[in-house]
A and B are shown apart, each in its own frame.
Chain A
């Protein structure tokens, strides 16, 4: 009974972590969508100096999303 409770608690923790990862990924995607629209607007307005920072920002978001997927693993409780 006690073991089942622990298993249930552990599973809940992992679910919460994936939920958090999901929320972070959604927020990063929204930010990248905004960056893409800003890049399109800057390019059409011929404000070329704004393009590089926007691309860098999008790249940083992408790297964060990759780190969330590949490196953020739940740590087992001792």
Chain B
């Protein structure tokens, strides 16, 4: 809206107000009504507003908790996906893949015990990509110096509030490794 239009609108509103006041002036003497006084809020009214706010805050907390609890009961099913290159992965090394969609980056680790472990690559703090630190045998986030257990995805140190999202993997008869599901970290607790 241009400044001219804005000033025209303001002028129209003000002129309407003036017209209403002029039209109602004869009745003001019989039914005194002061808008300024009406605009004031008494303590009692303000207490009422606060009670309504209190109700809204309680319903908000209950509703949010209920929604979260309901969401926690739903486990999404994702189609299995063969992880290319996992067959030849050496012990103590990792590779990146995408699961369940092309925008969900994940990391597959072959730990010192020879087993495969896979996690979503987004740090649960601020979504920086985590990497596998071979020398310490854990997943680390370089942004805020967080560490995750390589077998469970649990937070070892740092600011993340919950474990990494875990990706279920299985080794099939031909030696290939398949991702078969994704479970949000902390979902089990």
Residues of A within 8 A of B (CB): 15, 18-19, 21-22, 25-26, 28-29, 32-33, 35-36, 39-41, 43-49, 51-52, 54-55, 58-59, 61-62, 65-66, 68-69
Number of chain B residues close to chain A: CB under 8 A: 29
Complex CA gap A22/B53 in Å reads 13
A18-B47, A22-B47, A65-B51 in contact; A49/B58 too (CB < 8 A)? no
Closest to B65 in A: A51
Which one of A26, A43, A45, A46 contacts B65 once the chains associate, using CB atoms below 8 Å?
A: A43
Minimum Cβ distance to chain A for residue B31 (Å): 27
Enumerate chain A residues within 8 angstroms of B65, measured Cβ to Cβ: 39, 43, 51-52, 54-55
Minimum Cβ distance to chain B for residue A23 (Å): 10
Is there an interface contact between B62 and A43, defined as CB atoms closer than 8 Å? no
Closest to B163 in A: A46
Is there an interface contact between B54 and A48, defined as CB atoms closer than 8 Å? no
Residues of B within 8 A of A (CB): 43-44, 46-48, 50-51, 53-55, 57-58, 60-62, 64-65, 67-69, 72, 124, 161-162, 184-187, 189
Is there an interface contact between B51 and A48, defined as CB atoms closer than 8 Å? no
Is there an interface contact between A26 and B61, defined as CB atoms closer than 8 Å? no
Is there an interface contact between B54 and A28, defined as CB atoms closer than 8 Å? yes
Complex CA gap A66/B50 in Å reads 10
Is there an interface contact between A65 and B72, defined as CB atoms closer than 8 Å? no
Complex CA gap A18/B53 in Å reads 18
Complex CA gap A26/B48 in Å reads 11
Enumerate chain A residues within 8 angstroms of B55, measured Cβ to Cβ: 62
Is there an interface contact between B58 and A21, defined as CB atoms closer than 8 Å? no
Instruction: Indicate the member of B44, B50, B67, B124 with the most A CB atoms within 10 Å.
Output: B50
Which one of B50, B61, B184, B185 contacts A55 once the chains associate, using CB atoms below 8 Å?
A: B61
Closest to A66 in B: B51
Which one of B57, B72, B185 contacts A32 once the chains associate, using CB atoms below 8 Å?
A: B57
Is there an interface contact between A51 and B68, defined as CB atoms closer than 8 Å? yes
Complex CA gap A62/B60 in Å reads 12
Beyond known contacts A29-B50, A32-B61, A45-B124: 11 more, CB 8 A cutoff: A22-B47, A25-B51, A35-B57, A35-B61, A36-B57, A40-B64, A43-B65, A46-B186, A46-B187, A48-B189, A69-B48
